[in-house]
Every structure is written in C-alpha cells, then in structure tokens.
Amino acid sequence: MLSFKKLIIFLAVFLSVNVFAEQLIDKKQKINKPWVLGYFEGGPYSDYKKILTETVTAMMNDGLLEQKRIPAFSGEQTAELWTWLAENLSNSMITFSKDFYFSADWDEKKREKYQVEATELLINKEVDLLIAMGTWAGQSFANNQHNVPTIVMSASDPISSNIVRSIEDSGYDHVHATIDPERYQRQITLFHEVIGFKRLGIAYEDTVEGRSYAALDIVLQKAEQLNFDVIPCFTLSDISDSNKANMSVIDCFNELSKKTDAIYVTVQGGVNRETLPTLVEIVNKNKIPTFSQSGVDEVKKGMLLSLSQAGFKYVGGFQADVIKRVISGESPREISQFFEEPPRMAVNIKSAEIIGFNPPLILLGLADEIFHTIEGGR
C-alpha cells in the first residue's frame, strides 16, 4: 500500500507528465497544421487596405507566403482583398479564414454584435491569430476575454485609446500593437517649422476615439511648446451615415479656413476620396496650407504636405515580422511594439503654387515624393 504522502507525490508526477505530454501534442499539431488568421475592423478606411496589402507583401518576402501579385481592388473595403487572400495565398503554414472576417461599418450596434460573435469564435479557437485593424478593433479585443494572439494595426494612438498599457508593455500576453510614439510630434514640428502658423485648425470627432485619431494631446502639447493656438471644430466620424460624416468635415473646413492660418488634416471617416476634392478646393481657395496626418495619398490629391509613408511599406514589414515571430513561438507581449518610420517628405507643388507658398529648398531636398498636379482636382 502506498502511503498518503507517496500517493500525493505519485499523482503530482503523473499529472505533470500528462500536462507536458499535452503541450507536446499541441506543439506537434501546430507544426502540422497551418496558423489560421482572422480579421476584424471597425469599418472601411483607405489606410486599412493598404496596410494589410503591404503586410501580406512583406510576409511573401519573408517566405511565409507564396509570391503572387495582389490585385488592386477598388474602393476602401477590405472584404474583397481578404477573400482573395483566403482563396489564393493560404498554404500549409498560414490560412486566411474566409469565415472570420468582420467589418462593423462604423456602426456601434454592429460593432457590439460582431465583437460578441468574434469573441466566441476566439474562445473556441476557431482562429490562431487575429489581425485587429484600427482603434475600434484594438479596443474590442485587447482584453482578457480570450487569449488568441492579437496584432493591432493602424491604431492612431494605442496608449491614449486604452488599447495597451505602454509602449514597453501591452498589458496582455496575447496582445501586440504597433506604436510610433514620435510620429505626430514630428508632423506638427515640421509643419510649424515650414509654415510658421500662429493659429492651427483641427477638425475631429469629440470622442475618446476621435481625439485619439487626431492625436489631440500631442497637438496641444506642441502648441504650448511652439507658441501657437489650436482652433478646434467638431465633426462626426465613426458613424454608419457616411453622408453626415462627410458634410461635417466639409462644414468644418469652411469654418476653419476663415479662422486659421493652417489646418492639420486628421484621420477620420469624413476625410476620404469622396470629400478630398472639395476639401482641397476649400483650403486652396482660401490659401490655407495643410498637413495630412494620413500621408502621401492625400498630398497626391492636393493637400500641401505630409510625411510620406512610402506606401506603408515600412510598417507592413514591421508587422509581418511580428506575425512571423508569433508563429515561431514568441509571445506577442515579448515583442517590441516600438516602430519608427524613416523620415520621408511629400509635397504638392501645384497646391503650393495656388496658395502662394514657395517651398524652401531644404524642404524640397527632404522630399522624396513631389507632385506637380492635383489628382482628381476640379
């Protein structure tokens, strides 16, 4: 007969061996099974499709996926792109789940409904890695309701929007968010150095998410440091009625063009391919210099300046490396979230000519993307 003490020791050893065996089985199964990727976004936005495309392209270059040309899908929706990835790029290592694709269309009720559905799928391990695109998605899945590796992409400020705890620590073992902590400081500083404005206009939705998209805390901090006033105008952004969002931004640009001597064009639902020609017409007519927070595509369409993102190539490469490391066994929390984009300038010479701005030679020297026409201009 075993003594009680020996029985306890025997059971402990037996259980530990079985747990270890289960872990080995899990690892073996993971080696023989592809990683299933899912996708969730708050709604359509032009940057999301570009960032996803560049991330997948970098995954091809890293050898995770077969080299194929990704079609240029029209519009801002990512649904067609995700379906194409699922049908054409899935392999023995990575599968893009056709069934795990959610876009809430900037509708809060849909967001809540889809979050519940997606969380249930995550708990049931229907996917092995989640791409959470944008601030809404990051806020919905950076939590303890599941433990599936979650890579948050294209969130304007993951810290101020309460997605992660800090740049050093996401706060969750399964969560990673890309953070460029100096990006917006660089933008505002450069814009002020070039233009020397005294009153900076900024249109944004007056919500936690809207203030985060606009990097409002950083704008106010730089205003104090550089001695300029911030003139706000409130818009509608994360709503299902795109016409209301569009008109709110147009109205704000008309208002700010009369009150300010420069406008910081922030990321939001109402700044899009439909409204950009009107917004550019308003600022150019009133000779207001602009800086696009988003990047080169808006400069191409007539905004004066931005920091070029080289088509999101660099951030796509960074995020592809994160995915590769997670698939290789690293915890998302252990991977650095710090990303600093190489400095690149974009300038629209045609808009500069219209508003009477003569770009200094040093600015042109820094610019690697110079546009001499306004794409889609009136």
Using one digit for the tens of pLDDT, what is the confidence trace for 21-65? 333 334 434 556 899 999 999 999 888 999 999 999 999 999 999
**Per-residue pLDDT tens over the stretch 336-372:** 999 987 777 899 999 999 999 998 876 777 777 899 9
86-106 average pLDDT score? 95
My answer on whether 208 and 226 are in the same domain is yes
164-186 average pLDDT score? 94
The Cβ-side half-sphere exposure at 364, using a 13 Å CA radius, reads: 9
55's CB contacts (< 8 A; 6+ apart) are: 131, 153, 316, 319, 320, 323
As a whole number, the mean pLDDT across the chain is: 89
Helix ranges (DSSP H) in the chain: 4-32, 46-61, 79-88, 108-123, 135-141, 183-195, 208-213, 216-226, 242-259, 276-285, 296-300, 313-327, 349-355, 361-366
How high is the pLDDT of residue 306? Answer: 93
My answer on whether 81 and 156 are in the same domain is yes
How high is the pLDDT of residue 246? Answer: 97
**Per-residue pLDDT tens over the stretch 111-170:** 999 999 999 999 999 999 999 999 999 999 999 999 999 999 999 889 988 999 999 999
Q: Positive or negative CA dihedral for 280, 282, 283, 285?
A: positive
How high is the pLDDT of residue 378? Answer: 59
Rounded CA-CA distance 204/233 in Å is 7
My answer on whether 285 and 302 are in the same domain is yes
Q: What are the DSSP calls for 254-291, one per residue?
A: HHHHHH-SEEEE---TTSSTTTHHHHHHHHHHTT--EE
What pTM was computed for the model?
0.73
Residue entry with tokens 């208002």: 255
Secondary structure letter of residue 334 according to DSSP: G
How high is the pLDDT of residue 45? Answer: 86
Residue entry with tokens 């306890």: 8
Q: Flag whether 23 is in a domain.
A: no
Domain count, the chain: 2
Per-residue confidence band for 3, with pLDDT thresholds at 50, 70 and 90: very low
Rounded CA-CA distance 240/268 in Å is 13
Q: Flag whether 2 is in a domain.
A: no
How high is the pLDDT of residue 74? Answer: 84
How high is the pLDDT of residue 139? Answer: 96
My answer on whether 205 and 354 are in the same domain is yes
What percentage of the chain exceeds 70 in pLDDT? 90
Reduced to 3 states (helix: H, G, I; strand: E, B; else coil), residue 369 is strand
My answer on whether 34 and 74 are in the same domain is yes
My answer on whether 222 and 263 are in the same domain is yes
265-283 average pLDDT score? 95
Q: Flag whether 9 is in a domain.
A: no
288's CB contacts (< 8 A; 6+ apart) are: 201, 256, 257, 260, 261, 262, 263, 282, 355
My answer on whether 135 and 237 are in the same domain is no
Per-residue confidence band for 2, with pLDDT thresholds at 50, 70 and 90: very low
Please give the C-alpha separations between residue 97 and each of 113, 287, 366, in angstroms, as whole numbers: 19, 48, 42
Residue 37 belongs to domain with CATH number: 3.40.50.2300
- The answer to whether residue 13 scores a pLDDT higher than 60 is no
Q: Flag whether 301 is in a domain.
A: yes
The tokens for 341 are: 């984009």
Secondary structure letter of residue 356 according to DSSP: T
- The answer to whether residue 215 scores a pLDDT higher than 80 is yes
- The answer to whether residue 70 scores a pLDDT higher than 60 is yes
Rounded CA-CA distance 57/64 in Å is 10
My answer on whether 322 and 287 are in the same domain is no
My answer on whether 173 and 60 are in the same domain is yes
My answer on whether 169 and 38 are in the same domain is yes
What percentage of the chain exceeds 90 in pLDDT? 74
The tokens for 15 are: 């259980």
Q: Flag whether 15 is in a domain.
A: no
Secondary structure letter of residue 166 according to DSSP: -
Q: Flag whether 255 is in a domain.
A: yes
Per-residue confidence band for 300, with pLDDT thresholds at 50, 70 and 90: very high
Per-residue confidence band for 234, with pLDDT thresholds at 50, 70 and 90: very high
My answer on whether 162 and 215 are in the same domain is no
Q: Flag whether 164 is in a domain.
A: yes
Please give the C-alpha separations between residue 207 and each of 148, 213, 240, 256, 268, in angstroms, as whole numbers: 29, 10, 16, 20, 12
How high is the pLDDT of residue 359? Answer: 86
Q: Flag whether 225 is in a domain.
A: yes
My answer on whether 250 and 281 are in the same domain is yes
Domain, as residue range, for 82? 28-180+313-334
